[in-house]
Amino acid sequence: MIFSSYEFLFLFLPIVWGVFAMLTRTGSHRLILAWLTLASLFFYGWWNPWYLPVLVASILGNFLFGRAMMRWPGHRKALLITGVTLNLALLGYFKYTHFFLDTFNDFAGTDFSIGRIILPLAISFHTFQQIAYLVDLYRGKEQEDHDLLQYLLFVSFFPQLIAGPIVKHRELVTQFARDAFSRIDLRNVAMGITAIAIGFFKKSVAADSIAQYANAVFDAGAAGQTLGFYEAWGGALSYTMQLYFDFSGYIDMATGAALLFNIRLPLNFYSPYKSLSIIDFWRRWHITLSRFLRDFLYIPLGGNRKGSARKYANLLLTMLIGGLWHGAGWTFVFWGGLHGMYLILNHGWRALRGERASSTRFTRFLSWLLTFLAIVLGWVFFRAESFPAALTVLQGMISFETISPWPYIQEFLWWWAPDIAGIRFPEWIYGTALLALLSLIVFFAPNTHQILSLEHPETEPVPAGDRTPKWLHLHWKPTAIFAVLTGMLTIISLIFLTLYQEHEFLYFQF
């Protein structure tokens, strides 16, 4: 069941919220917890009922490990190691068995094979979430008075189950225990509907519209076709915008759905393409994943406590694993390694520069431009089906012999010729105009967090450096005007949904 689908928007979500509203009259936290847990498990099982036993088994197993760590504190470390190992083994079997087997076959010249393994939905997200729970419990950062029902909902809560954010146990359980959880908060409901409408618009109108141009170019690259300069850059930038609106649209809808039930999810996306450095980018893009990699991988490896060389090695290893987490393919590993090198260069430059450099408007623009181009280059490998396909796109991006715009000017002039009838509007003009419009929104418009002035539990500090012009600042209020705007966004999104059908969010594959 996709957030941007008729089933979710007009059946599942209204029914779940309607029953929730009736249960709030009883004032029973337990009934509400039980109902949302059942609804979340149904939501997960909607995709494929065979996924559900794997999810439930993972939840029960980790809960029992947690209880054992509380009951036998002298064996906490052994239990932690065993629990984390089993979690990684489960993830490794379902997600990486074919990848490692194919890699071994290519290296050794063998031909080993196994049967088809069906990848359970969201296994990467709920596995990381439960590993974080066990580690925090071991570190004494978790309360020890929770129960199975709370834990079931913590893992399976449908707004964040499929593609995050990666939530810490205490961030949700403390909210489950509040009196506000079992009441109807009309302001939260209004804000939630607005956030859902914004996210729905981003996905159905922006992401799915620009996707056709990105797919055409990367499909051509996968087929080995030669790409021109503008064609390759158009495809790379189109995918850059598609991924932005697709992922941020999902986060907005997840945030809005949680708000309907008085739950604030942690901040996970904050205008990442406005970043002035790669360090800043990873404080804005998939913030909860960055937090997980930092707290449970980079810092345990030693962080920056053992000298610069060790720090840079830890950064590179962390990002390589982060790339592999995104997908079982060498292009994802390379993308992670590329961002690892970006971070090493960024930290190295900061250490060399110190406090001497001045910050002028030009230097900020140059920093933004270099950062954005580095991000676009990385997305080519992230999107491409293989290294040859990525290299084909990159070759087109540097094919300066095709940089002349004259063929496009000719096509445009030919379209305007008054004596020619039946000439359709050049397709590249649609794509260019759409790309320009989406870029203006990304680079200058306020994000959903700013519009709704959302507060999040125990989240990372909100990144600085907002480049939104003051005249574009927009602050949501529960007024008729915003209600009309929300309705208009929803209607437009439904129209586009009928045009482009239902498409899964890109992060569902991870």
Q: Of all residues in the chain, what percent carry a pLDDT higher than 70? A: 90
pLDDT, mean of residues 344-352: 90
Whether residue 25 contacts residue 182, with contact meaning beta carbons closer than 8 Å, is answered with no
* Annotated active-site residue in 146, 169, 286, 326: 326
For 372, half-sphere exposure in the C-beta direction (CA atoms, 13 angstrom radius) is 19
pLDDT tens string 289-322: 999 999 999 999 988 888 889 999 999 999 999 9
Give mean pLDDT, residues 372-399: 95
326 labelled catalytic: yes
Burial class (CB in 10 A: 0-12, 13-18, 19+), 424: exposed
Percent of the chain with pLDDT over 90: 60
In this prediction, residue 504 carries a pLDDT of 78
| pLDDT (tens digit per residue) in 64-88 | 999 999 989 889 999 999 999 999 9
H or E segment and range at residue 440: helix 427-444
- Predicted confidence band of residue 404 (pLDDT cuts 50, 70, 90): low
Cα–Cα distance for residue pair 52/161, rounded to 1 Å: 12
Q: What is the reported pLDDT for 421?
A: 47
- Given a contact cutoff of 8 angstroms between Cβ atoms, the answer to whether 132 and 292 are in contact is yes
Give the DSSP letter of residue 506: G
pLDDT (average), residues 181-209? 93
Q: For the segment 85-132, what is each residue's pLDDT rounded down to a tens digit?
A: 999 999 999 999 888 888 888 888 888 888 788 888 889 999 999 999
Query: Which pair of tokens denotes residue 125?
Result: 């997200």
Kindly tell me if the per-residue pLDDT of 350 is higher than 90. Answer: no
Q: How far is CA 356 from CA 18, 345, 349, 350, 351, in A?
A: 59, 18, 12, 10, 11
What average pLDDT score do residues 245-260 get? 95
Computed over every residue of the chain, the mean pLDDT equals 88
Mean pLDDT over 427-445 rounds to 88
Asked if the model's pLDDT at residue 164 lies above 90, the reply is no
Which one has a higher pLDDT value, 500 or 52? 52
**Amino acid making up residue 20:** F
For residue 420, the model assigns a pLDDT of 47
- The pLDDT confidence band at residue 145, using thresholds 50, 70 and 90, is low
Q: Decide if 264 contacts 188 (C-beta within 8 A).
A: no
pTM reported for the whole predicted model: 0.91
Of residues 504 and 249, more confidently modeled: 249
Q: How confident is the model at residue 418 (pLDDT cuts 50, 70, 90)?
A: very low
Q: Is the pLDDT of residue 277 over 60?
A: yes
Please check whether residue 270 is in contact with residue 449, taking contact to mean a CB–CB distance below 8 angstroms. yes
CA 90 to chain CA mean position, Å: 22
Q: Is the pLDDT of residue 403 over 80?
A: no
What does the pLDDT read at residue 454?
A: 78
Q: How far is it, in rounded angstroms, from Cα 465 to Cα 290?
A: 19
Per-residue pLDDT, averaged over 483-504, amounts to 87
Residue 422 or residue 165, greater confidence: 165
- List the domain boundaries for the chain: 6-184, 189-509
